[in-house]
Amino acid sequence: MVNRMQFYIDGAWVDPANKKTAWTLNPATAEEMYEVALGSKADVDKAVIAARRAYESFSQTTRKQRMSILASIIEIYKGRAKEIGDSISDEIGAPLSMAEQKQAGSALAQLATTLDVLKNYPYEERIGSTLVVREPIGVVGMITPWNWPINQIACKVAPALAAGCTMILKPSEFAPTCALIFAEILHEAGVPKGVFNLINGLGPEVGAAMSEHRAIDMISFTGSTRAGIDVASRAALTIKRVSQELGGKSPYIVLDDADLEKAVSKCIATLFLNSGQSCDAPSRLIVPSSKMTEVARIAKTIADTYRVGHPRAAGIQMGPVVNRGQWAKIQDLIKKGIDEGATLVTGGPGLPEGIDKGFYVRPTIFADVKNEMTIAREEIFGPVLAIIGATDESDAIRIANDTPYGLAGYVFSGSTERARNVGRFIRAGAIYLQGGSLDSSAPFGGYKQSGNGREWGRFGLEDYLEVKSVAGSIESNKS
């Protein structure tokens, strides 16, 4: 039985400093499932004391010791992956098979990749007579989102452990269970007490206390750009490092020599995965203006085949969005698209046909969208596609970059070389050509208001390290 009424601090499950709870709803039914304890600044202070104390010894562990810990976590995680996937399906509404395979599976990939990086990472190097040493940054505060909850936990916790840091995690209150299971896994794996601490809570209380805390050396945050600005502002008071993966409004450029059926199908499949609730979702489909009618027809045909329903029902491709607030936001943006003059191709406001409860959104396609429209500017975080016309390749690149975001960009062409050349001009942290996907050891992160810093693989590990120069002829003794 997962313990939702206590926090994991200093190697033990403890009661919150104050009694405050929130209900977790099932987005498929809009019904209450269970209560979760919410933390306060007092809980953060307690966790920071434990993490600072643990840092003294954990920062001095050897590479071999940390490799052993990660290997144990991986083995125990494998036995509980299905349980984690089930909890994610219940709490955010992802179809069960997707939650078990992609959501739970992504965290396992992050853990395994970090272990591989740790085996050979060069913590020391010589530059002339100077020894350059990479050391753990210290105590890390981690704030993670609900949309890919266990993936974002793993891609922070794994490299922090590999670096020798200690940490305090605040997972999303909308998807708390996978984090609690993960805490149990780390405990069973023998992570020393105080190294990993978990406090459930709200951003304005626990998140703010962590961001401002003088004894926390770094904040790693994944979430909205609005919340990221608040985190960075609070963290600036103590000049701590802030690594952020924020929002996106990613363009999907289809060039005039592309196979339209294949390109549009890939775009919609990527966008509709997780009900559109992915930061790098390609929500702006940029196509030659002369092919707008044909692209809209193809998009409608594909979108109309999507089976929307209860995440545990057989054959379902799309479940609900996470909560009532998210559903209402998406409905408002769909209405704005209509009011501002975009052509509604399929979908639209309201619940899908045959569904009378839960937070389900109709798969929605807009054509004839101008990049100045609200649905082309704001992150919708739902299954809503805006098709935008471009006069030529240069215009498509201009439209793609005409956004405050820069998390991802997609290019589809009849020629991979041409797609690659266009991709070079897109200002974003990840470029996907011809429907490809990133290797789990490649860096992931954004330009502009999509954040700073990088996660995954070697680049993720380096976010948790400080660089020290030691002058003179000094022998290396790092193990």
Residues identified as active-site: 245, 279
- CA–CA gap between residue 62 and residue 54 (Å, rounded): 15
Given CA atoms 388, 390, 396, 399 in this order, what sign does their dihedral have?
negative
Given CA atoms 227, 232, 233, 237 in this order, what sign does their dihedral have?
positive
Nearest alpha-carbon partner for 234 in 257, 275, 203, 262: 203
Nearest alpha-carbon partner for 308 in 299, 300, 298, 318: 318
- CA–CA gap between residue 245 and residue 456 (Å, rounded): 12
Strands 364-369 and 343-346: antiparallel
Nearest alpha-carbon partner for 248 in 233, 264, 270: 270
- CA–CA gap between residue 395 and residue 388 (Å, rounded): 11
- CA–CA gap between residue 307 and residue 27 (Å, rounded): 17
Strands 196-198 and 130-136: unpaired
Q: Two tokens at 163?
A: 């670096």
